[in-house]
Amino acid sequence: MKNRIIIIFSILSVIFSQNPLDNYLSGSILSTVFGSTQDGINQPRDLDFHPTRENELWVLNQGSSGYDSNAQYSETVCVPENTDLTFIIYDSYGDGICCSFGNGSYTVSACGNTYASGGNFNSSESTSFSVGSCASFDCADEEVGLSININTDNYGYETSWEVIDDTTNAIYGRHGDAGGSTSQSVFVQKKTRAINRCDTGDKIP
């Protein structure tokens, strides 16, 4: 209980003040906060290291509301023109969104081009691509509207995704799965024993 109180206080301090995890980590530390109170960043719950990007320690929040099952979703993510991007879709159970339990699918498109599509994967599937420039009524000047279309399977709450800048690692858009993380504070540093003792075991979607 004592460890839990300490780490919750530390996480809140990370978000709203300077980084108290300096006490546990060594070396140069870079931190970035994504999201707002609407995303739940004022409700942190745990720490974990990102499963695919090395040396990134994330503060996990209470999580978002997952997708409904067997439903269609369309979202627009505004990204800078002429940018190299990676779209990653996740399934928390590890069976994709097609075709074991329903016929889910996804497409990612912009400027009349489809850059990523599918549905039959395991835990995750990533596609890297470059967007050019074209008129987009939903975005600001010098931005392109990236259309994310998701058709969920019988377990829509297992699905999440993110759009990442290949050069800066900036996250332009994402949807966390139910109980997953919708906002994070990122620290470029290896895990230490002090962090291990505080980790409750929750994972990044």
Q: What is the pLDDT of residue 131?
A: 96
End-to-end CA distance of the chain: 26
Same domain for 88 and 153, yes or no, is yes
Q: Residue 203 falls within a domain, yes or no?
A: no
Query: Could you give the CA distance from residue 155 to residue 69 in angstroms, rounded to a whole number?
Result: 5
Give the global pTM: 0.62
Q: Are 86 and 97 in contact (CB under 8 A)?
A: no
Same domain for 31 and 96, yes or no, is no
Same domain for 10 and 58, yes or no, is yes
Token couple for 83: 């940018």
Same domain for 135 and 170, yes or no, is yes
23-32, 85-94, 116-125, 144-153: the lowest-pLDDT one: 23-32
| Confidence bin at 176 (pLDDT 50/70/90) | confident
Q: What is the mean pLDDT of the chain?
A: 75
Q: Residue 204 falls within a domain, yes or no?
A: no
Q: Using the 8-state DSSP alphabet, how is residue 70 labeled?
A: T
Same domain for 140 and 190, yes or no, is no
Q: Residue 205 falls within a domain, yes or no?
A: no
Q: Is 148 exposed, middle or buried (0-12, 13-18, 19+ CB in 10 A)?
A: buried
Answer yes or no: is pLDDT of 183 > 60. Answer: no
Q: Residue 166 falls within a domain, yes or no?
A: yes
Same domain for 79 and 48, yes or no, is no
Give the count of domains, the chain: 2
Query: Could you give the CA distance from residue 199 to residue 162 in angstroms, rounded to a whole number?
Result: 24
Alpha-carbon dihedral of residues 24, 25, 29, 33, nearest 10 degrees? Answer: -40
Same domain for 13 and 86, yes or no, is no
Q: Which domain holds residue 88?
A: 72-175
Query: Could you give the CA distance from residue 142 to residue 147 in angstroms, rounded to a whole number?
Result: 16
Segment 57-78 mean pLDDT: 82
Segment 80-135, tens digit of pLDDT: 999 999 999 999 889 999 999 999 999 999 999 999 999 999 999 999 999 999 98
Same domain for 54 and 77, yes or no, is no
